[in-house]
Each structure stands twice: as structure tokens, then as C-alpha cells.
Copies of this chain bind each other. A is one copy, B any other.
């Protein structure tokens, strides 16, 4: 008997349209037939729009919500835990084992705090981490942490290596993914004491064949695809991610200006517009920009606040794949191996 997986979807508190969410989930359902959904949103709107997606309609339950956490809500508001918000209820459904994972498009900080508080971290992992799938010259890599935990601490960084390695092995379907530690150079003496301590720990775990650590990587190595996993603290990771997004936008904007600059270039743009579209899609943050909150007892996925259906379906596919391959069992397995073999 195939196992079913239930995904709770927080449909409020972002600029993502209900139709994009439903269309995306429906697309993913065609590939992942054992998916079920709990949809936390406006019942009237959702029940009307879901009719178009017959299959999705059959496996979804709508839970009516009016209140939501907005993008500007302050942490004090969030910690006051408004228990009628779509985000709170979606997270709570996982806590109460009515669902296996949460998908949200809303306030990342709120999602992080509420998930940590209610779903809690795996007992083997000190702190959860936000991972992202980053496009590179060879394909894609997992980069983490992107902002869950801004403290530089070797234990957290080793946890990130375990979490990232587990995600990469499932998402990219590879054994022993290569791991790099983000630093300002590749020589042994580079970086702070805490970074060097982390590197020593990861080296020891690699000698014991538990992980596949390849040493330091630099900022440019992320897009170059030097390793399958790039480990960093949440401060550096968040700034690297947003800098990359900003650079991509700058490039795009200059390109658009340039194409408008003459009649010839306008014709050129017209002729190459399909090719241009494919580049935009390959690098489109609306498709790729999903953050995987990992290290918790259940998976939580944060999609871009303005997602299109493709981004939703991409994120749902990833959730399914991680659930199907039991990512948390994989993480526990890594930790057990580590604890039996080396100091950690």
C-alpha cells in the first residue's frame, strides 16, 4: 500500500494568488498521486476556485481562516500567537499530526518562530536551518543556513552540514553529496577561529567516512557549483542570498534597458525572446526561491511571497520527495553514524 502524505497550505498573508496556489498544487498532484491537502484560507473563495481542479478538489479539505500574519507584523505580535491565523493553524495541524508538512508564502520570521516553538527541532539537532536550492553552472546545490540562526557556532554549522547533506542526497538523488564550508578564501588559515574549528570537525567526520567534506568554498563557488552543499551561518547566508537576488535583478534590468536602446536591438530581442524567457525561468526566483526549514520534527517550506503556479508546484514536488524519502530518518541516521564514530 502506498503511503499518503498530507500537506497543510497557509494560503493567506502574501501576494500569492489563490489560483496560482491551486493550479500549482494540482500540477504537483498529477505527479505525486498520494498527496492530500489541508487548505487554510478563505473558504468561500477557495471552494469556488478549486472546482476547476477536480482531482485536487477530491483530496483537499478547506479550513476557513480570516485572520493572518502579515509581512509587516512585528515579532512581539507574532509571539502573542494569534491562534486564528492561517499560519498558526497550518503549523498546529502538523503538531497535531493531521498533516506531514507545512507550505507557506507568508512572513518568514513568523513562520520560523512559530515552527520552532510548536513543531520543535529533532532532538539530534540544536537549531533548525533554512536551506535553499541554488542554481549553478552544473545544476543546483543546497545552501544553508539562509537566516534561521545568525550566530556563528561550530556545532550549528556541523548540524547544517548534516541537514544539507540529507537534503541534497534526496533532492539530487546522489550518494555522499560533497560539502563546502563558506569562507573568505580556501587556505587553511582563512576565516575566524569558529570557522576553522568547524572545518576541523567536518574533516574528522570525513575521515570517518560519514560525510564528504571538501574544505572551504568562496562566494563565487556557490554559483560555480563546486560542491553539492554549501554550509554557512544564517547571517552570511542571508546576505549572500539577497546579494545574489539583487545582482540578478540588476543584470535583468540593464539587459531590458539595453534591448530597448535601438530598433535593431528591439528586433533582436523579439527574435531571441524565447531564449531569454528560458534564462529567466532557469534563474527565476519565483520558481527557485523556496526556503526549506529543516531540522524540525516536520518539514516546513516557505515559498516566495509572490509565487506563480510553477513555484508552488516546484515546492510541492520537493516536499513530496523529502517526505517520500523520509528526510528526517536520513538526518537521524547521519547523526547516529557520527555519534558512534567521532566527536561531534
Q: Which of A9-17, A28-36, A230-238, A327-335 contacts B (4 or more CB under 8 A)?
A: A230-238
- Residues A184 and B150 in contact in the complex (CB < 8 Å), given A243-B243, A270-B268: yes
- Interface: A312 (CB within 8 A): no
A218 to B238, CA, bound (A): 9
Cβ contact within 8 Å between A75 and B189: yes
Instruction: Tell me if A239 and B184 are in contact (CB < 8 A).
Output: yes
Whether a CB of chain B sits under 8 angstroms from the CB of A151 is: yes
A283: which B residues are within 8 A, CB to CB?
A: 250-251, 254
Across the interface, which residues of B come within 8 angstroms of A268, CB to CB?
A: 267-273, 275
| B residues less than 8 Å from A253 (CB atoms) | 137
Complex interface: chain B residues within 8 A of A224 (CB): 246, 249-250
When distances are taken between beta carbons in the complex, the residues of chain B under 8 Å from A187 are 74-75
Question: Judging by beta carbons under 8 Å apart, are A246 and B223 in contact?
Answer: yes
Task: Tell me which of B151, B238, B261, B279 contacts A192 (CB under 8 A).
Answer: B151
**In the bound complex, CA of A147 to CA of B224 (Å):** 20
Contact B271 A242 (CB under 8 A): no
A340 within 8 A of B: no
- Tell me, in angstroms, the Cα distance from A254 to B275 when the chains sit together: 10
CA of A185 to CA of B223, assembled, Å: 23
Q: How many copies does the complex hold?
A: 2
Task: Please tell me if the beta carbons of B264 and A191 are within 8 angstroms of each other in the complex.
Answer: no
Residues of B within 8 A of A236 (CB): 235-236, 239
With A251-B279, A262-B274, A278-B261 already in contact, the answer to whether A243 and B223 are too (CB < 8 A) is yes
Assuming the contacts A192-B150, A261-B278, asked whether A239 and B254 have C-beta atoms less than 8 A apart, the reply is: no
A236 to B220, CA, bound (A): 13
Asked if A209 is at the interface of the complex by the 8 Å CB criterion, the answer is: no
When the two chains form their complex, are residues B279 and A255 in contact, meaning their CB atoms are under 8 A apart?
yes
The residues in A between 207 and 240 inclusive whose CB is less than 8 angstroms from any CB of B are 218-224, 232, 234-236, 238-240
- Contact: B219 with A240, CB < 8 Å? yes
A81 in the interface, Cβ–Cβ < 8 Å?
no
Chain B nearest Cβ from A44, distance in angstroms: 34
Q: Taking CB as reference atom, which chain B residue is nearest A269?
A: B272
Q: Is there an interface contact between A265 and B261, defined as CB atoms closer than 8 Å?
A: no
30 A–B contact pairs at CB < 8 A? A75-B189, A135-B250, A136-B250, A137-B249, A150-B184, A151-B192, A192-B235, A218-B238, A219-B239, A219-B241, A219-B245, A220-B249, A221-B242, A221-B246, A223-B246, A223-B250, A235-B236, A240-B240, A243-B244, A243-B247, A247-B248, A251-B251, A255-B255, A255-B279, A258-B272, A265-B271, A267-B268, A267-B271, A267-B272, A268-B269
5 smallest CB-CB distances across A and B, nearest first, come from A268-B272, A219-B242, A268-B271, A223-B246, A219-B243
- Known A-B contacts: A218-B238, A243-B247, A258-B278. Give 13 more (CB < 8 A): A135-B250, A184-B238, A219-B241, A219-B244, A222-B243, A223-B247, A232-B239, A235-B236, A255-B255, A262-B274, A264-B272, A267-B271, A268-B273
